[in-house]
C-alpha cells in the first residue's frame, strides 16, 4: 500500500483501537513527528517501520502487502509461503509442529506410494505397458508429486530452523526438479518427442548430483537431530553415487528406501525437539 492510502489506513486502525498518536509512539518506539508525517502521507516509511506499526496495531501486514502486488509477484510470494521458504521463525511452536507433522505423515504416504510408482515405471520401461491404464498411471504420479512436495516442505522448514541453509535450498530444488520430471512423465504418455531412455539417463545424472549435496546437508543436521540425520545423509550420498553411474541407478533406488525412512524419523524428531523447547519455555515463563 502506498501513500497517502497507507497513512489513512494507519490513522483508521489507530482510531479504531482508541489510541492517540502518543499511545502509538509508546508501542512502536517512533517519534510523534514521524507518526504524524506518516499518517499525513508526507513520507513513505520503510517496510520495517510499517511492520512495526502494524504489529503495534495488531494488524496483519500481509493484507496490505498483497494490495500492492501484481499477479506474478503475488503468485511468487504465495508459492514461497506455501513452500515455507519465507517463514517467520518466531511463529508459535504450534504452527511449526503442525507443518512438520504434515511433513512426516506425507513422508509415510510418499514412501508407500513409491512402491506403486516403481511398479508402474517397471512395466512402462520393460514391458512398454501402462499398469491398469493411463488414468491409474497419471493418478499415481500426481499422488507421488503431492506427497513429495509436502514431505520436502518439512526439510525446507528444518533448514531454516536449524540454520542449515544448504538443506533449505536443495530441498526446494528437489521439489522443483520433481515437478518437472513428473510433469514430463505424464506428458510423455501422450507425446514423446525425445527417447525416454535418454531422459531417464539425464534424470539419473541430475538427481545424482543434487543427491550428493542433499546427503551432505542432511549429514550436517547430526549435531541437532542425531544419528537419524547422519545415516540419512550417508544413505542419500551413496544412492546418489549409484545414480551417477546411470546403469546402476536401480541400486540407488533400493538404497533410498532406508534413507527415506530415516528422513521421516528426522522430521518426527524435529517435532519432539520443538515441543520440548516450547514446554521448557512455558515452564520458565510461569
* pLDDT of amino acid 108: 98
Query: Tell me: the pLDDT tens digits for 16-49?
Result: 989 999 988 888 878 889 999 999 988 888 877 8
User: What are the domain boundaries of the chain?
Assistant: 5-81, 93-279
Peptide bond into 4 cis (omega under 30): yes
Q: Which residues in the chain show pLDDT less than 50?
A: none
Give Dmax (Cα) for the chain: 77
* C-alpha distances in Å from residue 181, one per residue of 60, 84, 138, 197: 37, 22, 13, 13
* pLDDT of amino acid 167: 96
* pLDDT of amino acid 262: 98
The whole-model pTM stands at 0.75
CA dihedral 135→109→263→121, nearest 10 degrees, is -30
Report how far residue 242's alpha carbon sits from residue 255's, in angstroms, rounded to the nearest whole number: 9
Query: Tell me: the pLDDT tens digits for 110-150?
Result: 999 999 999 998 888 776 777 778 899 999 999 999 999 99
Instruction: Match domain 5-81 to its CATH number in 2.70.70.10, 3.90.1150.10, 2.60.40.2310, 1.10.260.40.
Output: 1.10.260.40
* pLDDT of amino acid 280: 79
Q: Are 117 and 141 a contacting pair, CB within 8 Å?
A: yes
CA dihedral 92→98→99→103, nearest 10 degrees, is 150
* pLDDT of amino acid 194: 62
Closest to 100 in 3D by CA, of 162, 190, 169, 31: 162
* pLDDT of amino acid 197: 75
Q: Are 227 and 265 a contacting pair, CB within 8 Å?
A: no
* pLDDT of amino acid 265: 97
Amino acid at each position: 500500500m502506498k501513500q497517502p492510502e497507507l497513512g489513512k489506513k494507519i490513522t483508521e486502525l489507530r482510531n479504531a483501537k482508541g489510541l492517540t498518536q502518543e499511545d502509538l509512539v509508546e508501542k512502536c518506539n517512533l517519534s510523534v513527528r514521524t507518526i504524524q508525517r506518516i499518517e499525513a502521507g508526507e513520507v513513505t516509511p520503510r517496510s520495517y517501520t510499517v511492520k512495526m506499526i502494524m504489529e503495534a496495531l495488531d494488524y496483519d501486514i500481509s493484507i496490505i502487502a498483497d494490495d500492492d502486488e501484481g499477479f506474478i509477484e503475488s503468485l511468487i510470494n504465495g508459492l514461497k509461503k506455501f513452500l515455507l521458504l519465507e517463514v517467520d521463525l518466531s511463529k508459535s511452536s504450534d504452527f511449526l509442529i503442525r507443518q512438520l507433522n504434515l511433513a512426516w505423515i506425507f513422508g509415510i504416504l510418499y514412501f508407500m506410494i513409491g512402491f506403486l510408482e516403481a511398479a508402474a515405471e517397471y512395466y512402462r520401461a520393460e514391458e512398454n505397458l501402462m499398469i491398469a491404464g493411463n488414468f491409474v498411471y497419471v493418478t499415481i504420479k500426481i499422488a507421488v508429486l503431492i506427497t513429495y512436495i509436502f514431505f520436502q516442505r518439512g526439510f525446507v522448514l528444518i533448514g531454516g530452523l536449524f540454520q542449515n541453509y544448504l538443506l533449505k535450498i536443495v530441498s526446494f530444488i528437489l521439489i522443483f526438479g520433481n515437478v518437472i520430471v513428473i510433469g514430463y512423465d505424464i506428458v510423455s504418455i501422450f507425446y514423446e518427442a525425445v527417447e525416454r531412455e535418454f531422459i531417464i539417463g539425464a534424470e539419473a545424472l541430475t538427481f545424482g548430483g543434487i543427491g550428493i549435496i542433499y546427503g551432505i546437508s542432511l549429514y550436517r543436521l547430526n549435531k541437532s537431530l542425531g544419528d537419524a540425520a547422519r545415516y540419512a545423509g550417508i544413505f542419500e550420498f551413496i544412492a546418489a553415487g549409484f545414480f551417477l553411474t546411470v546403469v546402476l541407478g536401480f541400486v540407488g533406488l533400493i538404497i533410498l528406501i532406508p534413507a527415506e525412512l530415516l528422513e521421516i524419523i528426522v522430521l518426527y524428531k524435529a517435532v519432539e525437539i520443538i515441543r520440548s523447547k516450547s514446554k521448557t519455555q512455558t515452564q520458565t515463563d510461569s
